[in-house]
Structure 1
Amino acid sequence: MVAVITRKPMEEIVKEFDQFYTGLVYDVLEEMGYPHQALSPEIAAIAPGMTVAGPAFTVQMVNDPTSDPDLRQKRINMFKEMTYPCVDIRDTSFDERVAAYGEMNATLAAKYGCVGAVVDGGTRDSQHLIDRGFPVFARFKTPVEALGRISYKAWQTPIAVRGAITSTVTVNPGDFIFGDVDGVISIPKDILGKVIEKCQKMVNTENCARDEFKVGDPEEVYNKYGRL
């Protein structure tokens, strides 16, 4: 398969996703032979109306009961590598106990251009995150502090995030993350341009079909457009 890589500025690409929704993007990916890119449905927005779109800044976290003495400097170094408009996406090694994300993470991340976070684990400080309009998608909310329980192992390396129809989805640095009310999808970066092109065509088709459903015969509309 020939890779199709879009050459548009990333800010422009992110803006294009304003007209899309995850159901549409998933249908396009499945049609292209990539049906396993949806993340676990348990990874959801912490508040209604949140959306997120941008290239993945991947973070791998691990159990750390000894509390890494270099954790503070590691965090600072990691955030400094972020660039606008990245999405912080975290593999927490299936942690089910603590908040792997919170307000201070968002504050530092936004300083360096991060536009949102997707966490295969827990988050806290939710009201602060909501008030500042910083989109976070996570598996659960908890007040439990991460310090002394979980730490950073690596970043900008391939990670495994729990999937919707597979046990995990591999997310590589730079893969495009898109989340809305229905969930989160990871789009492999090498096919992003083709996905956008097909999504735009699908949006146009759906808009035409909606107009025709209002005034025409439903069976004729279905026969004309096929799967919608």
Structure 2
Amino acid sequence: MDWKQNYEYGVPVAELIERYKKLYTGAVYDVLDHLGMPYQALSAGLKPVRQDFVLAGPAFTIKGIPDTKGDENLRTRRIHLFNDMRSLGIPLVDTRDCSFDTQVAHYGEMNAVLGKASGVVGAVVDGGCRDTGFLLKDNFPVFCQYQNPVEAYMRWSYYDWQIPIALRGALSAVVQVHPGDFLFGDLDGVVVIPRQWVVEVLEKTEALVNTETAARAEFASGADPVEIYKKYGKL
């Protein structure tokens, strides 16, 4: 499965990733909000495991379920998940069927190693991660709700992938995420850009950031702030 074929944005995925990573989530959110999509920010609890991590890419959605018996069929099946990750993107882990489990680590070093070999550029986990030291040494950006050392085996398992999922939201109980939606995260959190809006939101945000940069320089020069606001409008 090649995401670049299945999620054609009109712009190469690698280019989209690099351009988004030059922006910041606040500006992207402002554009989404202005376009009538205020509920695209994920839970404020989702933070990078290192403050300088920035993450951008298509969503590869993953749904998990409780697995207290260590079902071998589930463990075998989940290996095929990595065969489906064959282009640039971000696994996005949904723990909702465990009432947003807060007990185990849902992502760790081995997931990252397998994923990176398949084109994964980071991960967003609406739950926990572990092996953080390895992730940091590998400079692999992960955003999660918490960190702990508890193994998921006999407690929780990946179940299905590349289906619509729901993660906790900042302004809403959940945010719906579909395969191919675009994720962008930095120290302030993570926003979800619907697939059909990826390029337009990018271009509008780039324009906004350019305007902000020009206005910022004028503010810093000591010029009259009233005149600057008149010149640039709402910032």
TM range (shorter): over 0.9
Whether the 8 Å CA contact 1:84–1:115 is kept in 2: the answer is no
Which residue of structure 1 aligns with residue 51 of structure 2?
Answer: 48
* Number of equivalent positions: 224
Identity %: 48
Once the 2 structures are TM-superposed, how far is the Cα of residue 160 of structure 1 from its aligned partner? 0.4
Once the 2 structures are TM-superposed, how far is the Cα of residue 83 of structure 1 from its aligned partner? 2.5
Match for 2:160: what amino acid?
Answer: A
Which residue of structure 2 aligns with residue 86 of structure 1?
Answer: 89
Distance 1:175 1:145 in 2: 29
2:75 counterpart of 1:72: yes
Which residue of structure 1 aligns with residue 4 of structure 2?
Answer: none
Divergent runs of 4+, >2 A: none
Distance 1:121 1:11 in 2: 27
**Which 10-residue stretch deviates more, 201-210 or 70-79?**
70-79
2:38 counterpart of 1:35: yes
Which residue of structure 1 aligns with residue 3 of structure 2?
Answer: none
Distance 1:43 1:112 in 2: 24
Which residue of structure 2 aligns with residue 219 of structure 1?
Answer: 226
Match for 2:48: what amino acid?
Answer: A
- In structure 1, stretches of 5+ residues that fail to align are none
2:20 counterpart of 1:17: yes
Match for 1:129: what amino acid?
Answer: L
CA deviations on 1:154-192 (whole Å, 9 max, x unpaired) are: 100000000001000001001001100110011000111
RMSD: 1.1
> Of 137, 151, 168, which residue of structure 2 is paired with 1:162?
168
Which residue of structure 2 aligns with residue 141 of structure 1?
Answer: 147
TM-score by length of 1: 0.95
- In structure 2, stretches of 5+ residues that fail to align are 1-7
Distance 1:109 1:59 in 2: 13
